[in-house]
Amino acid sequence: MSVRILALVGSLRSGSHNRQLAEAAVRHAPEGTTVELYEGLADIPFYNEDIDTDSAPASAVRLREAAGRADALILFTPEYNGTMPAVLKNGIDWLSRPYGQSAVSGKPTAVVGTAFGQYGGAWAQEEARKAAGIAGAGVLADLKLTIPNAVARFAETHPADDGEITGQLVEIIHRISGQVASAAAA
Protein backbone atom coordinates (compact mmCIF):
# COMPACT_ATOMS: atom_id res chain seq x y z
CA MET A 1 0.00 0.00 0.00
CA SER A 2 1.35 3.40 -0.98
CA VAL A 3 0.78 6.19 1.56
CA ARG A 4 0.67 9.89 0.67
CA ILE A 5 1.39 12.38 3.43
CA LEU A 6 0.85 16.10 2.98
CA ALA A 7 3.31 18.34 4.85
CA LEU A 8 2.18 21.82 5.86
CA VAL A 9 4.85 24.20 7.16
CA GLY A 10 3.82 27.05 9.43
CA SER A 11 6.84 29.23 8.64
CA LEU A 12 7.14 31.30 5.49
CA ARG A 13 10.79 32.29 6.06
CA SER A 14 13.06 31.05 3.27
CA GLY A 15 15.63 29.69 5.74
CA SER A 16 13.02 28.21 8.06
CA HIS A 17 14.25 25.30 10.14
CA ASN A 18 10.72 23.87 10.07
CA ARG A 19 10.75 23.96 6.28
CA GLN A 20 14.13 22.20 6.40
CA LEU A 21 12.62 19.64 8.76
CA ALA A 22 9.80 19.05 6.26
CA GLU A 23 12.39 18.72 3.48
CA ALA A 24 14.10 16.07 5.60
CA ALA A 25 10.79 14.19 5.83
CA VAL A 26 10.41 14.37 2.05
CA ARG A 27 13.96 13.14 1.48
CA HIS A 28 13.89 10.34 4.06
CA ALA A 29 10.34 9.06 3.56
CA PRO A 30 10.50 5.27 3.68
CA GLU A 31 9.75 3.21 0.60
CA GLY A 32 6.02 3.06 -0.07
CA THR A 33 5.45 6.48 1.48
CA THR A 34 5.50 9.86 -0.22
CA VAL A 35 5.70 13.11 1.73
CA GLU A 36 4.56 16.09 -0.35
CA LEU A 37 5.70 19.51 0.85
CA TYR A 38 2.76 21.83 0.21
CA GLU A 39 3.66 25.15 -1.38
CA GLY A 40 1.19 27.99 -1.24
CA LEU A 41 -0.01 28.59 2.33
CA ALA A 42 1.13 32.21 1.97
CA ASP A 43 -1.20 32.70 -1.00
CA ILE A 44 -4.39 31.80 0.85
CA PRO A 45 -6.44 34.74 2.15
CA PHE A 46 -7.48 34.77 5.78
CA TYR A 47 -10.51 32.57 6.24
CA ASN A 48 -13.74 34.49 5.72
CA GLU A 49 -17.02 32.68 5.28
CA ASP A 50 -18.16 35.45 2.92
CA ILE A 51 -15.59 34.33 0.33
CA ASP A 52 -15.91 30.60 1.04
CA THR A 53 -18.62 30.12 -1.54
CA ASP A 54 -19.00 28.09 -4.72
CA SER A 55 -16.22 30.28 -6.09
CA ALA A 56 -13.82 30.02 -3.13
CA PRO A 57 -10.33 31.42 -3.75
CA ALA A 58 -8.31 29.15 -6.04
CA SER A 59 -5.48 29.01 -3.49
CA ALA A 60 -7.85 27.61 -0.85
CA VAL A 61 -9.33 25.12 -3.31
CA ARG A 62 -5.80 23.88 -4.17
CA LEU A 63 -5.07 23.33 -0.47
CA ARG A 64 -8.32 21.41 0.02
CA GLU A 65 -7.63 19.29 -3.06
CA ALA A 66 -4.09 18.49 -1.88
CA ALA A 67 -5.42 17.45 1.52
CA GLY A 68 -8.17 15.44 -0.16
CA ARG A 69 -5.58 13.45 -2.16
CA ALA A 70 -3.46 12.80 0.93
CA ASP A 71 -3.89 9.84 3.24
CA ALA A 72 -2.42 11.72 6.21
CA LEU A 73 -0.80 14.99 7.22
CA ILE A 74 2.20 16.25 9.12
CA LEU A 75 2.09 19.81 10.40
CA PHE A 76 5.50 21.42 10.95
CA THR A 77 5.23 24.39 13.26
CA PRO A 78 7.55 26.92 14.84
CA GLU A 79 6.36 28.81 17.88
CA TYR A 80 5.41 32.47 17.59
CA ASN A 81 4.61 34.16 20.90
CA GLY A 82 3.70 30.86 22.51
CA THR A 83 1.42 29.58 19.77
CA MET A 84 1.35 28.43 16.16
CA PRO A 85 1.81 30.93 13.32
CA ALA A 86 -1.28 32.49 11.77
CA VAL A 87 -0.50 31.00 8.35
CA LEU A 88 -0.79 27.45 9.73
CA LYS A 89 -3.97 28.22 11.68
CA ASN A 90 -5.44 29.80 8.56
CA GLY A 91 -4.65 26.68 6.53
CA ILE A 92 -6.34 24.53 9.16
CA ASP A 93 -9.36 26.86 9.12
CA TRP A 94 -9.74 26.55 5.33
CA LEU A 95 -9.36 22.78 5.55
CA SER A 96 -12.08 22.55 8.19
CA ARG A 97 -14.75 24.07 5.95
CA PRO A 98 -17.39 23.90 4.67
CA TYR A 99 -18.85 22.72 7.94
CA GLY A 100 -19.24 18.96 7.95
CA GLN A 101 -16.99 18.54 4.89
CA SER A 102 -13.51 18.92 6.38
CA ALA A 103 -10.78 17.94 3.93
CA VAL A 104 -8.88 16.41 6.86
CA SER A 105 -11.77 14.52 8.40
CA GLY A 106 -10.40 11.43 10.13
CA LYS A 107 -7.01 11.66 8.42
CA PRO A 108 -4.10 10.66 10.65
CA THR A 109 -2.27 13.87 11.51
CA ALA A 110 0.98 14.41 13.39
CA VAL A 111 2.38 17.72 14.60
CA VAL A 112 6.12 18.24 14.90
CA GLY A 113 8.54 21.11 14.84
CA THR A 114 11.51 23.02 16.01
CA ALA A 115 11.88 26.41 17.62
CA PHE A 116 14.50 28.77 18.96
CA GLY A 117 13.51 28.26 22.61
CA GLN A 118 14.38 25.56 25.07
CA TYR A 119 11.09 23.68 24.69
CA GLY A 120 11.19 23.28 20.91
CA GLY A 121 7.81 24.82 20.24
CA ALA A 122 5.80 22.51 22.49
CA TRP A 123 3.09 25.11 23.11
CA ALA A 124 2.63 25.78 19.40
CA GLN A 125 2.43 22.07 18.72
CA GLU A 126 -0.27 21.60 21.35
CA GLU A 127 -2.28 24.46 19.83
CA ALA A 128 -1.88 22.95 16.34
CA ARG A 129 -3.02 19.54 17.61
CA LYS A 130 -6.06 21.16 19.21
CA ALA A 131 -7.01 23.13 16.07
CA ALA A 132 -6.45 20.15 13.75
CA GLY A 133 -8.53 17.92 16.02
CA ILE A 134 -11.40 20.39 16.09
CA ALA A 135 -11.12 20.57 12.27
CA GLY A 136 -11.81 16.83 12.23
CA ALA A 137 -8.32 15.41 11.73
CA GLY A 138 -7.38 12.17 13.43
CA VAL A 139 -4.65 13.75 15.53
CA LEU A 140 -1.99 11.28 16.64
CA ALA A 141 -1.28 12.95 19.98
CA ASP A 142 1.36 10.41 20.98
CA LEU A 143 3.56 11.26 17.97
CA LYS A 144 5.71 14.14 19.11
CA LEU A 145 8.95 15.70 17.97
CA THR A 146 9.97 18.95 19.62
CA ILE A 147 13.45 20.13 18.76
CA PRO A 148 14.72 22.97 20.96
CA ASN A 149 17.43 25.52 20.19
CA ALA A 150 16.98 25.27 16.43
CA VAL A 151 19.33 28.13 15.65
CA ALA A 152 22.25 26.40 17.37
CA ARG A 153 21.31 22.82 16.45
CA PHE A 154 20.95 23.55 12.75
CA ALA A 155 23.56 26.31 12.43
CA GLU A 156 25.83 24.12 10.35
CA THR A 157 23.73 21.02 9.70
CA HIS A 158 20.53 20.68 7.68
CA PRO A 159 17.99 18.55 9.58
CA ALA A 160 18.11 16.05 6.70
CA ASP A 161 21.77 15.40 7.59
CA ASP A 162 21.13 14.97 11.33
CA GLY A 163 20.89 11.22 11.97
CA GLU A 164 19.04 11.57 15.27
CA ILE A 165 16.40 13.86 13.76
CA THR A 166 15.93 11.83 10.58
CA GLY A 167 15.59 8.66 12.63
CA GLN A 168 12.81 10.24 14.67
CA LEU A 169 11.09 11.61 11.55
CA VAL A 170 11.21 8.22 9.83
CA GLU A 171 9.70 6.58 12.93
CA ILE A 172 6.87 9.14 12.91
CA ILE A 173 6.25 8.54 9.20
CA HIS A 174 6.21 4.75 9.77
CA ARG A 175 3.67 5.15 12.56
CA ILE A 176 1.48 7.43 10.45
CA SER A 177 1.64 4.90 7.61
CA GLY A 178 0.64 2.19 10.07
CA GLN A 179 -2.41 4.20 11.09
CA VAL A 180 -3.38 4.65 7.44
CA ALA A 181 -2.98 0.91 6.80
CA SER A 182 -5.02 0.03 9.90
CA ALA A 183 -7.82 2.35 8.84
CA ALA A 184 -7.82 0.90 5.31
CA ALA A 185 -8.03 -2.65 6.70
CA ALA A 186 -10.94 -1.84 9.00
Q: For residues 57-73, give the mean pLDDT.
A: 98
Domain 3-185 listed as CATH 3.40.50.300: no
126-148 pLDDT per residue, tens:
999 999 999 999 999 999 999 99
Share the mean pLDDT of the chain. Answer: 95
**Contact of 135 with 127, CB cutoff 8 Å:** no
Nearest to 94 by CA among 130, 22, 41: 41
At residue 183 the predicted structure's pLDDT band, cuts being 50, 70 and 90, is confident
70-89 pLDDT per residue, tens:
999 999 999 999 999 999 99
From the number of C-beta atoms within 10 Å of its C-beta (0-12, 13-18, 19+), residue 181 rates as middle
What percent helix, strand, coil does the chain show, rounded to 5? 45, 20, 40
- Residue 84 CA, chain-centre distance (Å), reads 11
In this prediction, residue 43 carries a pLDDT of 98
| Extents of the domains making up the chain | 3-185
The yes-or-no verdict on residue 185 having pLDDT over 90 is no
Q: For residues 15-43, give the mean pLDDT.
A: 96
Backbone torsions φ then ψ of 130, nearest 5 degrees: -60, -50
